[in-house]
Copies of this chain bind each other. A is one copy, B any other.
């Protein structure tokens, strides 16, 4: 029996071309000899790998774990595999992953900044500025932030502070713009996405005469820092200070009191993005997607004391 026969059997294309007992013999022999097909050869022959690359800014955040989960589920259903490659601007590897891994397409988060050196590769960008030409799958960040603003104003807050992330990407820019439009914003601070940095930034916001009665944070981690600042100043959350986050990651419920935040359907984002990418690989041009966030009211928001 020739190599072609083996190939047919092992690729599952033996239907009607190979006698069932021959097929069995092949499989048996393959097992006995510990044969493993060579992925590199297959990839070369087929000109595609049925693998897509997920590029994320970091693996230190469980948020992207959820994105992966959704993406991998959809990919798996269609027989595709997913590999992950973290990539930040400053820690960019010498050569782009695309030049190293053999992949069919890329799912990239824009949060890491410039996703470059990936021209000519089918690409879908997560959380990208809609103005960008690349096909995008986004959260409706603006809608989410409006929910926060409305929630706080309905509670009676008239002096809202904004603890923004010191990151210049679309997702975060939008947060600031919406809040400026929609709510009685009295002050704004900027912080790295990091508990300690956020604590410091929050302290300067809170240590002023017209102290805000509510602090809107761009991110749950930043909110964790705000908690610490409040504690340091002897402020009770939520009686003296309401705090909101964004993302609904794990720490949101680990905090005490539990954090009111916007839940972003990260897993669905991954799933929709993968769907879009696979459509692109089929030559279609999927429409952009915008996923709404959900306001999760927990215990960190309450009417202001004076109300």
Interface residues of A (CB under 8 A from B): 34, 36-41, 43-44, 49-51, 58-62, 64-66, 68-69, 72, 76, 81, 83-86, 93-94, 97-102, 119-120, 195-196, 221, 224, 227-228, 231, 250-251, 253-256
- CB-defined contacts of A196 to chain B, threshold 8 Å: 253
- CB-defined contacts of A60 to chain B, threshold 8 Å: 62, 65-66, 69, 250
Counting chain B CB atoms within 10 Å of each CB, the highest count among A50, A64, A68, A254 belongs to A254
- CB-defined contacts of A65 to chain B, threshold 8 Å: 58-61, 86
Cα distance, A86 to B40, chains bound together (Å): 21
Is the beta-carbon distance between B250 and A228 smaller than 8 angstroms? Answer: no
Is the beta-carbon distance between B86 and A72 smaller than 8 angstroms? Answer: yes
Copies in the complex: 2
Question: Can you list 10 contacts pairing A with B, beta carbon distance less than 8 Å?
Answer: A41-B44, A43-B43, A44-B44, A58-B65, A59-B84, A60-B62, A81-B100, A195-B253, A228-B256, A256-B256
Counting chain B CB atoms within 10 Å of each CB, the highest count among A37, A59, A99, A231 belongs to A59
- CB-defined contacts of A228 to chain B, threshold 8 Å: 256
Cα distance, A93 to B250, chains bound together (Å): 26
- CB-defined contacts of A94 to chain B, threshold 8 Å: 76
Counting chain B CB atoms within 10 Å of each CB, the highest count among A39, A51, A119, A227 belongs to A39
Cα distance, A231 to B255, chains bound together (Å): 12
- CB-defined contacts of A41 to chain B, threshold 8 Å: 44
Cα distance, A14 to B169, chains bound together (Å): 42
Is the beta-carbon distance between B64 and A93 smaller than 8 angstroms? Answer: no
